[in-house]
């Protein structure tokens, strides 16, 4: 079932399977929509209730302009779950969705049974990344979002997977045409100023899962290994042949791991 609800003052596009003994929330990454999980959801445990959301500024959901912070997006996720009648869930966040998932877990601890950072980290943007986001914001405002998407989406995949998943890459690029440029720019502004959540994660007592691709161009393997060492209480799934899009590049392994992880 797909529907819209006003959450945190903006329209939010929600998909909810409605039934299941445990609830899993899937939060997509930057330049994606809830449809990016379409092929992944059927691989998950059939007893799970699965909720997906177009995060504010993406897909069919509205944004809070000029800045859509990850904290605002987390508030929208919380209100969306309230609309669905969900009190607590396991939340999985892919890349940018991981930043939102972290904020959600910090703001609404009673609503979180477990947290999975899927190709994501608790780190804030370093200065070089903030400067890169400023350049990207300028390009978006100049009407160059299609060019950004056409360059960014293939880079989510490992070099040797790009040809194999050509159809999926083209699908993600095509779906991105529904994004409103101002909403994307507002999300970039929000990611640029997100806080460091390493301290929060160190104190997080509930089940924690990291999923990393060893060929990820966005999260160097040294960064991933340092995080795994820093948070020894976390379970870690290493994907040897995946880049930044493990639910496409290694769907069976990731689906099985997440299905077992859901609390």
- Phi then psi for residue 209, to 5 deg, are -130, 130
> What's the total number of domains in the chain?
1
State how far the Cα of 53 lies from the Cα of 70, in Å rounded to an integer. 14
110 band by pLDDT with thresholds 50, 70 and 90: very high
Domain limits for position 28: 2-261
- 184-221 pLDDT, tens digit per residue, is 999 999 999 999 999 999 999 999 999 999 999 999 99
- Tell me if 139 sits within 8 A of 220, measured CB to CB: no
pLDDT of residue 156: 97
- Tell me if 68 sits within 8 A of 189, measured CB to CB: yes
- Tell me if 95 sits within 8 A of 242, measured CB to CB: no
Q: Is the peptide bond before 39 cis (omega within 30 degrees of 0)?
A: no
- 18-51 pLDDT, tens digit per residue, is 999 999 999 999 999 999 999 999 999 999 999 9
225 band by pLDDT with thresholds 50, 70 and 90: very high
- 130-176 pLDDT, tens digit per residue, is 999 999 999 999 999 999 999 999 999 999 999 999 999 999 999 99
- Tell me if 200 sits within 8 A of 123, measured CB to CB: no
- Residue 166 has a CB neighbour count (10 Å cut-off) of 12
CB neighbour burial string for 183-192, b if at least 16 within 10 angstroms, e if fewer? bbbbbbbbbb
pLDDT of residue 91: 98
pTM (two decimals): 0.98
pLDDT of residue 72: 98
pLDDT of residue 54: 98
Mean predicted confidence (pLDDT) in 81-87: 98
| Tokens found for residue 96 | 């940018």
State how far the Cα of 118 lies from the Cα of 212, in Å rounded to an integer. 7
State how far the Cα of 31 lies from the Cα of 13, in Å rounded to an integer. 15
239 band by pLDDT with thresholds 50, 70 and 90: very high
- Tell me if 10 sits within 8 A of 62, measured CB to CB: yes
Query: What's the CATH code of the domain at 226?
Result: 3.40.50.1820
The CA radius of gyration of the chain, in Å to the nearest whole number, is: 17
| Tokens found for residue 77 | 């996720």
State how far the Cα of 173 lies from the Cα of 151, in Å rounded to an integer. 10
């Amino acid at each position: 079932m797909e529907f819209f609800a006003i959450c945190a003052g903006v329209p939010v596009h929600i998909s909810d399977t409605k039934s299941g003994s445990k609830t899993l929330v899937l939060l997509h990454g930057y330049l994606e929509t809830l449809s990016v999980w379409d092929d992944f959801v059927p691989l998950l445990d059939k007893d799970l209730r699965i909720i997906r959301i177009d995060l504010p500024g993406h897909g069919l959901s509205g944004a809070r302009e000029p800045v859509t912070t990850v904290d605002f997006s987390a508030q929208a996720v919380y209100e969306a779950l309230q609309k669905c009648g969900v009190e607590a869930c396991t939340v999985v966040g892919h890349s940018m969705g991981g930043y939102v998932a972290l904020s959600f877990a910090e703001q609404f601890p009673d609503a979180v049974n477990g947290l999975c950072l899927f190709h994501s980290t608790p780190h804030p943007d370093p200065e070089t990344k903030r400067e890169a986001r400023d350049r990207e914001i300028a390009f978006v405002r100049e009407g160059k979002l299609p060019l950004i998407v056409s360059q960014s989406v293939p880079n989510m995949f490992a070099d040797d997977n790009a040809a194999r998943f050509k159809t999926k890459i083209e699908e993600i690029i095509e779906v991105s045409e529904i994004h409103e440029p101002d909403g994307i720019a507002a999300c970039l502004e929000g990611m640029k100023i997100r806080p460091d959540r390493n301290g929060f994660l160190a104190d997080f007592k509930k089940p924690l899962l990291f999923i990393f691709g060893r060929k990820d161009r966005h999260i160097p393997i040294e960064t991933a290994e340092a995080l795994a060492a820093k948070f020894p209480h976390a379970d870690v799934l290493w994907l040897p042949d995946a880049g930044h899009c493990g639910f496409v590049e290694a769907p069976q392994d990731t689906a099985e791991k997440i299905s077992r992880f859901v609390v």
